Chains A and B, each alone.
Chain A
Amino acid sequence: MADLRALYQEVLLDHSKHPHNFRAMADASRSAQGYNPLCGDKVALYIKLEGDRIADVSFQGTGCAISTASASILTQVLKGKTREEAEALFTRFHDFVTGQGQPDGNAPELGKLAVFSGVSEFPVRVKCATLVWHTLRSALSGSEDLVTTESAVE
């Protein structure tokens, strides 16, 4: 049962029940839709850019505890970041939840994301955690395509 507690940490469950920045954004400069066709999870991500910096970010959608918490925490850690910093976070987070890396001391911003440390033990749930991050990438690149977990996602 230790594994399950590591997966469903208190902080993660809090975010899933009371997600932060859970709203549409009328004046978003970028938005993208993410979809997991295997489970039906949907996420819409909205970003307001000021120059190269993410001034505001919000999301809406339906999903499991892990995907909802992931989206909620993403909106928290991204606010104020540059596009380049967001890209770097994507890579680090992806490596982290797929078990390819650990958060390092030089990345304090991964602190909040460390709550997903249990996910790598549950390979079928990795997509739940990464869906919103792939959606972020799509939003930043300005792609209009729907992001799905079953395309080139993992």
Chain B
Amino acid sequence: MATAPEVAKPLARPISQPAFDVARVREDFPILKEQVHGKPLVYLDNAATTQKPRAVMEAEQRFYLTQCSNVHRGVHYLSEQATRAYEDVRVKVQRFLNAGEAREIIFVRGTTEAINLVASTYGRKNIQAGDEILITAMEHHSNIVPWQMLCEEKGALLRVALINDRGEILLEEFEKLLNPRTRFVSVVHVSNVLGTINPVAQIIQMAHRWNVPVLLDGAQAAAHLKVDVRALDCDFYTLSGHKLYGPTGIGVLYGKAALLAAMPPYQGGGDMISSVSFAKTTYNVIPYKFEAGTPNIAGTIGLGAALDYLNGLGFEAVGAQEQELLAYATPALSRIPGLRLLGTAKEKAAVLSFVLDGLHPHDVGTVLDQEGIAVRTGHHCAQPLMDRFGVPATTRASLAFYNTKEEIDALVKGIQKVKEILG
């Protein structure tokens, strides 16, 4: 099913061939040929959502054209095909994250739903009044608000680990915040604003010394670096399909089987039950206990194609290309007078958030847009982090492996135009 023929191409490249063939990879993403306001599209908003390779769109279309049916229901041929295609992706995700078992992979809408699921089920069951939940100062709203809601309901306390001016977690401070009342740690793997790659292995070790489970928000990480949930020993991992070249509306919650099995269900409905009577319902086993109702079948199949595509490129190649772009873009932007980069961590993904003296990011974004350049402006759903750096908003260029140095040059030129127009 989702094993698109395209994914084999990059593997077929002779190993001796040097650098990443960006021109060839860009051919896989039809949208990159689009024009915006009469200029070639320069898409630098990959942290918001990545573009989709043709293989992903074709996989979804193939499902609707030839396999469309519901899963886990019918005895007929199409349903069997759809079920197999859907469950095959669960195994793909398991391998992608190096999870121990496929039943540890729950399909959800995205990272936001994954975190809400854990807060609503594990959280409601295990967090009591006076307990503490530990997050960091660089969390996305989706890894703040569900915990705040839980804390409010339970009378628990949300504690926040601070970061330094480079945008790195103060690990010693983090460790000091762990105490006998700490019941849960939820930390972003890679910051959507700063690009910081957090020392999650150390964080998990620290938390585990207190027998505290850790959730990693992997929304910005999974597309850019190899994630190994078993090596990390994280208890929960979340990701969004659309941020790793897959469709919107599909994401993943990984959880250790023992934890998931002990958690109450999230939503009630079909598929999550094993038997229902008006007197009593018996819940299905994991993962189905957490997948009430007809799932996003086409999206799941698209996600499978995205994983195949990424695996085809290889994380080594993807990572090297993105780091090269970051190494090129960082000094190029820093040289611009009046520009200040936010997020200068030693371990960093290819995200460049910046402010320009006297210019508001919204105005910057509007001028760049007229140049065909797509960047994100605003608070990036991380208002507490904006407060930490004393800015109301930033402009953010977030890169993917299909971006080029020429596009970075276009951004630099665009910023000069910004200064010309608004200066």
Contact = CB atoms under 8 A, between A and B. Distances in A.
Instruction: Report if A and B associate in a common complex.
Output: yes
B379 A39 contact: yes
Contact of B377 (A4, A7, A8, A39): A39
A40 interface: yes
Contact of A38 (B359, B378, B392): B378
Nearest to A61: B392
A8 to B, nearest CB: 5
A4 B365 CA distance: 12
B370 A3 contact: yes
B125 interface: no
A40 B392 CA distance: 6
A63 B360 contact: yes
Interface in A1-48: 1, 3-5, 7-8, 13, 17, 38-42
Nearest to A65: B363
Interface string B161-176: 0000000000000000
Contacts of A65: 359-360, 363, 422
B386 A8 contact: no
B55 interface: no
Nearest to A5: B421
Contacts of A128: 362
A66 to B, nearest CB: 7
B367 interface: yes
A30 B9 CA distance: 67
A97 to B, nearest CB: 15
Contacts of B422: 8, 13, 65
B367 A40 contact: no
B383 interface: yes
B362 A17 contact: no
B363 A40 contact: no
Contacts of A40: 378-379, 383, 386, 392-393
Contacts of A115: none
A42 B267 CA distance: 38
Report which residue of B361, B363, B370, B422 has the largest number of chain A beta carbons within 10 angstroms of its beta carbon: B363
B421 to A, nearest CB: 5
Interface string B343-385: 0000000000000001111110011001000000111000100
Given A39-B378, A41-B392, A125 B362 contact: yes
A54 to B, nearest CB: 28
A120 to B, nearest CB: 14
Of the listed residues A64, A68, A124, the one surrounded by the most CB atoms of chain B closer than 10 A to its CB is: A64
B338 to A, nearest CB: 14
Interface string A105-138: 0000000000000000010110010000000000
Interface string B247-267: 000000000000000000000
B320 to A, nearest CB: 35
B362 A64 contact: yes
A64 B364 CA distance: 9
Nearest to B377: A39
A38 B366 CA distance: 15
Contacts of B421: 1, 4-5, 8
26 contacts: A1-B370, A1-B421, A3-B370, A4-B366, A4-B367, A4-B370, A5-B421, A7-B366, A8-B363, A8-B367, A8-B421, A8-B422, A13-B422, A17-B358, A38-B378, A39-B361, A40-B379, A41-B392, A64-B362, A65-B359, A66-B363, A122-B366, A124-B366, A125-B362, A125-B366, A128-B362
* A-B residue pairs, 4 tightest by C-beta: A64-B360, A64-B362, A40-B392, A65-B363
